[in-house]
Amino acid sequence: MIVEFLEEAELELFEAATWYESKEPGLGKRFRNEVAHVLDRILEDPTLWREHSSGYRRVNCPVFPYYIPFFIRGEKILIAAVAHERRKPGYWKYRT
């Protein structure tokens, strides 16, 4: 399987990492590493997380207050967002 980010999700990842890096040097890198770790877990077994009624699955980041909603599309893992858990719930769902 391969991972593909929607453009908006890729931008969210970049913006969040930049914001964290501006708060403390190295924190943005730690955020990116955590997201990479979550993506590795998804690739190991994408069906491990339950499928919601609209077809997406979601993985919470262990330290940072973000989650990664994704869809399984054949042999592709489609990352819909890198979403903050307390801001604009479900804003990304139109991206499906």
Predicted model pTM: 0.91
At residue 75, does pLDDT exceed 90? yes
Q: Span 52-63, mean pLDDT?
A: 94
Structurally, the chain folds into a number of domains equal to 1
Q: Span 36-65, mean pLDDT?
A: 95
Q: CA-based angle 15:16:17, to the nearest 5?
A: 95
Q: Span 53-73, mean pLDDT?
A: 95
Where in the sequence is the domain holding 35, given as residue range(s)? 2-95
- CATH number, domain at 20? 3.30.2310.20
At 92 the pLDDT is: 86
Q: Span 64-76, mean pLDDT?
A: 96
